[in-house]
Amino acid sequence: MNDSPGWATPGSSPSDGEGSHGTQPPAPAARPSGDGPKWSAEQPPPGQWSSPTAGQTPPSAPGQPPAGPQQGWGSYGGQQAGYGGYPAPPGGPGAGYRGAAVKPGVIPLRPLGLGEILDGAVATMRKHWRSVLPITLAVAVVVQLASVLMQKFAFGDVVLDQSDTASLDDQINALGATASMTLAEMFIQLVGTLVATAMLTMIFSRAVLGQASTIGGAWRESRSQLPRLFALTLLLGVGTALLIGVLLLPAILAGSVGLGVLGGFAAFGLVLWLWIKFSLASPALMLEKATLPKAFSRSWKLVKGSWWRIFGITFLTNLITGFVAGIIVLPLTFLGATLFGGGIDGLAEGTGSASWGLLILTGIGGIIGLTITMPMQSGVTVLLYVDQRIRREALDLELARAAGIENYGTGATAPPTGG
């Protein structure tokens, strides 16, 4: 088993004061005593995370004896967590050491910039399309097929009569039927998306090391965590609904529109903040084989101090994928409405929304859009998780060892570049 994310699992993180579950390399020959320097709140920018050359003596931390040229790994848990066996220099891991970062896979092993994260996601989709494309295509076909059949045979039979003569029972029954079918459609989409996310997480974690993945291998590595991933997603959804309900309840009880607007803004801000704080829980759950509480805790710690950066990258990714999906789905929807749905008026009035031609063209657009955007979103989330662990926990040491890079941190020699 490879000792890297997605296989033997990193297990507990350095920030939690526990060692990795995988096989550990030999400890350095000597370690200075004391608690050692703490991580800095300011992390080094991309392009400045590299190892000292062989034989070089790095600067010692304040209050610590000089460190000699050692090899191996620094220990975890904040006790002399270092880089290539050296104590962490002042300013955070990797600060003060300059040089070229190695790149065994789709990203260099150092803190990443926005462009490198997006490029890594696209590079994985391009280089490993034989594994990525069938997964996302199969999920997109199932999701869109369910949506088309629901709209044709279920929603088409439900009529919401808004006239004054309509009875209250008829309206309630129609609304209940619509809500039930909508929930069923959302459940199918949720299950498909979770399966794709779980398998794509494993593919992207291997792509970081330059290793190829198979569909069967990704399924075997991810299936044991699928129930927990489903529970995690369900908890996030239920928690969001409860939080919104609690903040809007005073306005509903008081019948105040102004209080409702205030509660809505408060709910939006709090939900957004918590959503970003827990945005890395999914890759932590899958790659560390963590429990639900551990996954939430890991995400909270990794996002701490980087909320705005992760929010910006996540927002930009959703903006890009939304735009890409829009330019694919909207033209096919308008074409279907023009040819089969009575034009724009028929689409607006809903008279042509159940025609086979419109539904099929819209479904084809949805399949293409999901096939492209789903791996992009999953890839950015996984690479954000890897980036944060490199910045905070020197995960590049473990990744370099798993990628077969010799003497990483002391003038490393990279293996042939993979993809």
Find the mean pLDDT for residues 121-125: 95
pLDDT value at residue 276: 96
- pLDDT band per the 50, 70, 90 thresholds, residue 405: confident
Q: What is the 3-state secondary structure (H, E, C) of 89-140?
A: CCCCCCCCCCCCCCCCCCCCCCCCCHHHHHHHHHHHHHHCHHHHHHHHHHHH
Q: To which H or E segment does residue 391 belong?
A: helix 356-393
Distances 358 to 1, 69, 330, 337, 346 between C-alpha atoms, Å: 49, 69, 12, 6, 11
Arithmetic mean of pLDDT over the chain: 75
Q: Taking the domains of the chain in order of start, what are their residue ranges?
A: 115-400
Question: Residue 252: which of 239, 240, 241, 263 has the closest Cα?
Answer: 263
Q: Which residue has the higher pLDDT, 171 or 375?
A: 375
Q: Which of 71, 20, 139 is nearest to 405 (CA)?
A: 71
What lies within 8 Å, CB to CB, of 250 at 6+ separation is: 259, 263
Global pTM?
Answer: 0.72
Position 343 scores a pLDDT of 59
Q: Which amino acid is it at 288?
A: E
Least Cα distance to 292 among 225, 383, 386 occurs for: 225
CA pair distance 23, 44, nearest whole angstrom: 29
Per-residue confidence (pLDDT) for residue 181, from 0 to 100: 72
